[in-house]
Amino acid sequence: MSALWTAGVAGLLFAFGLGLGGMTDPARVQGFLDVTGSWNPTLAFVMGGALAVHAPLSWLIRRRKTPVLAPAFPNVSHTQLDRRLLGGAALFGVGWGLSGYCPGPVLVSLAGGTGTVLLFVASMFAGMWLFGWWERSRATAPQPQGDLSSS
């Protein structure tokens, strides 16, 4: 079995999970986030179910030396809580709250065929591209000079 087959099956299964869990219904996602209004706690059970399965399984899987079809497990040793992590998560949360869509569910919702979903997906990729551009431009930006007072 090739690594492409397993990736495809994982994607398919992920979509079924998101759909069954109700993550592909933006009104329900907003209902979950509406903690001061008519709070709908159902989506907490989606994360609960995912963690209940993935936490023990990933612990077991990582006891293997290598994955079945790949040379190594990803290195996730980074533990720093920095401004990028929290700032990025904060921006993402605002977009998520506004629309009720996060990256997985909105890609599954492409099947719904609405122009709104298409526009969201295009903007999401534009945002990802913009991030890459921003990061590259920061890496190559001229460093501030020590003394510019005479210029």
Site for another protein in 14-43 (CB under 8 A): 14-28, 30, 33-37, 42-43
In whole angstroms, how close is the CB of 151 to another protein at the nearest point? Answer: 34
The interface with another protein within residues 114-143 (CB under 8 A) comprises: 114, 116-117, 119-132, 134
Residue number, 21 or 146, with CB nearest to another protein = 21
Q: CB of 110 within 8 A of CB of 117?
A: yes
C-alpha 107/C-alpha 15 separation (Å) is 9
Q: Which is nearer to another protein, 94 or 148 (CB)?
A: 94
Which among 39, 24, 18 is positioned nearest to 120, based on CA atoms? Answer: 24
The yes or no reply on residue 81 touching another protein (CB under 8 A) is yes
- 91 interacts with another protein by CB under 8 A: yes
Question: Minimum distance between the CB of residue 18 and another protein, rounded to whole angstroms?
Answer: 7
Residue 150 is a binding residue for another protein (CB under 8 A): no
- By beta-carbon proximity to another protein, the closer residue of 3 and 147 is 3
CB atoms within 10 A of CB 82: 9
Among residues 8, 27, 18, the alpha carbon closest in space to that of 107 is found at: 18
Burial of 19 (0-12, 13-18, 19+ CB in 10 A): middle
Q: List Cβ neighbours of 30 (8 Å cut-off, separation of 6 or more).
A: 97, 100
Which residue in this structure is represented by tokens 């401004």? 83
Q: Which is nearer to another protein, 71 or 146 (CB)?
A: 71
38 versus 150: smaller Cβ distance to another protein: 38
How open is the CA angle 106-109-112, to the nearest 5 degrees?
A: 150
Span 41-70, contacts to another protein by CB under 8 A: 42-43, 45-55, 57-59, 61-62, 64, 66-70
